Chains A and B, each alone.
Chain A
């Protein structure tokens, strides 16, 4: 009766991390509960039907779940909750998707009324074919993803035993000379491979690319990799050539400029979703080869048309990679049902503790606006308010002061508004990378930054993702996409790559006090705060006085 776990009535589980049984408990509940928040003392897990069904799929039964709760719970677990868990888990596996030699893909049931119930649903009707016998119904092979998603929504998740196509074989090996997969990366690859398809969540800088490479080496098949932009595509290619047996020629780039289809093809989301005359001409890329593995980088950004298309790719293995499975559009569950459940998740702080990502000092700099700025802010139109307070002169001055303070350190200044960035670039005498900067120019600047030729770089949100800036130690955020939590996490990720000298990274967020800038900042920080990154708040005046 003195366990580390407290079961709440809303089905969240609170885990006291300092408790001596905390680790055992974490292991016991991890299979079925989603880690929701991981601040310093008490971690919050949530028990969802999806999580319970995933646990069933992974071979855990209700008894194990109930045992875990009862064993570690500090207070008696409400009977109703235990019953509910057992009932929810019991719903899984009544329906099975499998391959029938004669009829192709079929949906079978062990509980006829359930089949009757789902077949009566309007949303299921178009997805199924003929009734083969009372317990079996044919499913259109192309609707495999759709029917799984729909059944999930109906509360009768189907067990997918239809397996995966192996795809066209292609030899890929990891080239582990001078480096090795980190333990958690290995674990992620194994969890993914064992589960078949799914999402791996790792913090920025924790080496997601290598998890992708490791999975490819497992699959040993032609692979389609979907990334957010061309720069990131190049980096993938670079990494793959460096870390695997693949050569430049085996890797194709399918982007706005190049349309190569090779055994391993890296495509951007942008090109796939280019719409011409009402159709997506490039979606046929999916069918252009018999892919054995599809990797979705930054899966939280997966655009809607790709969603739809992924539903038709259920017979192929899919790996989703992300740092923050927080979608501002709330479609996390679509990611889970289409790509697959979360297969691996490591709290940021845990990886940091293992030394694989740099510790970060997050500082919120509160800037007092001048009286005239406050007046202008107060009278600004509602839609202009954020822009105004995010780009005030006072903020710019503070930013400049911060840059000066960290002179000599590799510093990124990240912002949302181009004119603000241009102005900053001018004052700081630093190059600005924005949407209109050409890829060649970008790479040149990045290279220079990497070499240390430039120590300050001003970037817009184009650099949010997948640029590898190993030695950036200071990031200063001057404005952002309103309250986007994942953007904040991505930006912090820019400085989390481990530093050669091991010193901590510093992440500044410059915020105008008493404005909506501050409210947005609070929202943006929530994800990181829940990951255990405690923001320190500093008054700009003190900082300037002290610095």
Chain B
């Protein structure tokens, strides 16, 4: 590895105090490189890697250190697009530091002629891509990719001294522990590290080089030979054809092969010349330099400098798209309402492990007349929008929340906007329902890492075996191989909101009304965020990746496409105008995503990284949602106030109905078919239901007459009358107690008595009174009135109460679980940068005085302190103080005193970025800052 100093000692403010007045010298460390960046670029770094911001680093050195930690680097690498990652990978196999030209040639290949003989064999067996065509594109795209890497503090240094941060280099450099996506092996020097000097000398000799006096120079000579195109070609020209065939198998990786103890002649030829170097008993590797020679200097078989374009599958008129989407949006609202109406009187029970049982999901699917996965989507959507939740009772059930009732009161478009924005931000993914819990790791950060570790075991493959990817095995069997249930645990995928947002943003880049093919969209997403674990399958072109093994992001993207269609965010596969509004500020249609080549496309459109977390600003999301609702509202059908009644006892609502009307019809008739219109059928049962709900026959007649655009057919009127005639013939009620007496007069007397009012008596028959008071109270009451009642044994009280719509206690919608800290807003970023700056200033500021107390608090006498402070007030200069707070904790601060009075200094504290007051007696000392630090 290099001598790079990513991690400076944090306590070296004075040691490394640069001569800042000098013209900009190349930075010697990442921290220095960061220090040289302006605030905007630091803010960009923090925006791209928000994990660096929690907690806010004390100074730039700390920031650099944190930016170099493994977890943070892995996270950053995973968020690179394919070409930026390829660039980083190329840098990892380049010398450290590398020049821009070296990097470029690793990506484009050097056009130097390799030996025709070997090239022919290699090309014949490997079908090289056309490097010439790519070269221009790469040259075009490389500055952009490099800028990205620099911005994210993965690469630093000027173009002639490009350095990959050490952790990234460790992660990306090919080594037996980490096979690189480039398919390259270790360098000659690395591969020969454990080799005996004698053996090295033999190899050197066999390769036709003069022997040297020590192993180091021998390795150097060999490396030099391998990197010298002309001599290497000459060497390879002498190789037997079988040997070249072996090389051609290894050239694009994996570079490892197995040999027997007695290798065949052609293998021996290679081993003798160091073109294959042993790594372990029975295993050999093609050294990096040799592979690069055979590849024509290219680190990647297929550099992908340009994001794959979205292919348009169909063009629709934007009006058609909007109308279709609006129709679907309306269906979405109807479905959610239907779902919750279905669950209105107490929904299904909550499983002990949480979630909805498979049977309940099936039942719901039947009730909604949709397939189960779709039912799971609606259920999860309602949950994510906070419309349903578990009631938290002992016998836990799902039910609508009070928020649902509020939601119902909203205009349709706003109801939709609420659903859609909940969907957009939710981390819960209904697509996983029914799957296995083991999926959880796949594609996730942990999965990627686990995959890398596991491959160590699998990577050596036999020379004869064709290239194969070991990553297929990376899915570790999980102990909890549980089926995931809707509304249950384990459905959160932190990548979901970002993928949804990105998919929709990509749709938004297309012209209005244009629907892309799913495959091209997925290819684009894979390019923007290649799976690092997936990057271990570099040998298969992306298009050939088996769809069955789709990674999580791809599956998320697929789900996003279908779900967006369900919700009416898209129509016929194209983004609708209200969907566009929901998304907020996105690149204008047809503007190419300018992420990778900012030099050619000046637009600073939000790339995948800024989109990586959906806008955490709920305010902005709300504004977008409101805009979407405004756009959608005119497209939604106006609710109707009438139906058509027909003699076959059906009613047809030729469109959505006003809510009171729909509610009434839902009670009065059975729904026979749904869609744009609703067909209701009146049956004796349904009419009875309406009567049970407290309507009278005349109510119903009046209702139908009022809302029917056609005369009420006579059979329907008869139906209502017939049912009504029989309805209520038998009366059932509840009483707590009764009074029975054969003598009506006594009962008359009781009723006439004012004192009986409290007992709430009612005469049911001449000889029977029913009471609402309980038997004991009734007995007492009657005794109090001077009667001598006797209690009868109660015979089965019938209690009938209409169930009330069941609601949970107030619940909040589930919080999205974002991946990592939220993207900081401009204010926070500004503050953070200032704080880091100030801290850095404090720790690195060269002092005029007390240099001997390096790293300690300045110490001055109180008199000196006071004098210096007063001087600083006059000059307006910042000073550096040592300060001990009330708890006794000492700190250093850079302050600009504003006034000194009454034993207090009021000063602007650069460190805290605010004006504070310090008691003079707590200031241990003060020192002036060097001029140039201010």
Contacts and interface: CB of A to CB of B under 8 A. Distances in A.
Interface in A283-324: none
B932 interface: no
B853 to A, nearest CB: 75
B643 to A, nearest CB: 10
Interface string B72-108: 0000000000000000000000000000000000000
A40 B646 contact: yes
A271 interface: no
Given A40-B710, A79-B324, A537-B715, A6 B676 contact: yes
Nearest to B648: A529
Given A9-B369, A40-B710, A536-B714, A75 B676 contact: yes
Interface stretch (A10-18, A107-115, A120-128, A473-481): A10-18
Nearest to B570: A79
Given A41-B652, A74-B676, 4 more contacts: A10-B674, A37-B650, A75-B655, A535-B714
Contacts of A535: 647, 714-715
Interface of B: 320, 323-328, 331, 369, 565, 571-573, 637, 644, 646-650, 652, 654-655, 673-677, 679, 710, 713-715, 718, 722, 726
A530 interface: yes
Contact of A10 (B324, B369, B647, B715): B369
A287 B713 CA distance: 53
B646 A8 contact: no
Contacts of B715: 364, 529, 534-537
24 contacts: A6-B654, A8-B679, A10-B673, A10-B675, A14-B652, A16-B654, A39-B647, A40-B646, A42-B652, A75-B637, A75-B675, A76-B325, A76-B328, A77-B327, A78-B324, A78-B675, A79-B565, A79-B573, A529-B647, A535-B647, A535-B714, A535-B715, A536-B714, A536-B715
Contacts of A532: 647
B647 A8 contact: no
A19 to B, nearest CB: 10
Given A8-B673, A8-B675, A10-B673, A529 B649 contact: yes
B647 A12 contact: no
A526 interface: yes
Contact of A79 (B571, B644, B648, B718): B571
B421 to A, nearest CB: 22
Interface string A46-83: 00000000000000000000000000011111111000
Contacts of B326: 76
Interface of A: 1, 6-10, 12, 14, 16, 37, 39-42, 44, 73-80, 364, 366, 513-514, 526, 529-530, 532-537
Contacts of A37: 648, 650
B328, B565, B650, B710 interface centre (most CB from chain A within 10 Å): B650
Contacts of B714: 534-537
A529 B674 CA distance: 21
A76 B648 CA distance: 28
A40 B328 CA distance: 30
A39 B650 contact: yes
Given A41-B646, A42-B646, A513-B722, A14 B677 contact: yes
B675 A9 contact: yes
A39 B648 contact: yes
A14 B323 contact: no
A8 B331 contact: no
Contact of A12 (B571, B646, B655, B673): B673
A366 B715 CA distance: 12
A123 B656 CA distance: 46
A531 to B, nearest CB: 9
Contacts of A366: 718
Given A40-B646, A41-B710, A76-B326, A6 B677 contact: yes
A6 B676 CA distance: 6
A40 B647 contact: yes
A67 to B, nearest CB: 13
Given A14-B654, A41-B646, A536-B714, A75 B327 contact: yes
B320, B637, B647, B674 interface centre (most CB from chain A within 10 Å): B647
A9 B647 CA distance: 24
A9 B654 contact: no
Nearest to B650: A39
B679 A44 contact: yes
A6 B323 CA distance: 14
Contacts of B652: 14, 41-42
A90 B573 CA distance: 21
Given A526-B648, A534-B714, A535-B715, A8 B676 contact: yes
Contacts of B722: 513-514
A6 B646 contact: no
Contacts of B571: 76, 79
Contacts of A73: 676
Given A8-B677, A534-B715, A537-B718, A79 B572 contact: yes
Nearest to B334: A9
A520 to B, nearest CB: 13
Contacts of A77: 324, 327
A74 B673 contact: no
Contacts of B565: 79-80
The 5 closest A-B pairs by CB, nearest first: A8-B675, A534-B647, A76-B327, A75-B676, A529-B648
B323 to A, nearest CB: 4
B679 to A, nearest CB: 7
B336 to A, nearest CB: 15
B369, B650, B674, B675 interface centre (most CB from chain A within 10 Å): B675
A10 B369 CA distance: 9
Contacts of B679: 8, 12, 14, 44
Contacts of A14: 652, 654, 677, 679
A379 B428 CA distance: 60
B717 to A, nearest CB: 8
A322 to B, nearest CB: 21
B916 to A, nearest CB: 62
Nearest to A70: B320
Contacts of A513: 722
A9 B644 contact: no
Contacts of A10: 369, 673-675
B324 A76 contact: yes
A364 B713 CA distance: 14
B647 A42 contact: no
Contact of A42 (B572, B654, B726): B654
A332 B809 CA distance: 53
A16 B323 CA distance: 21
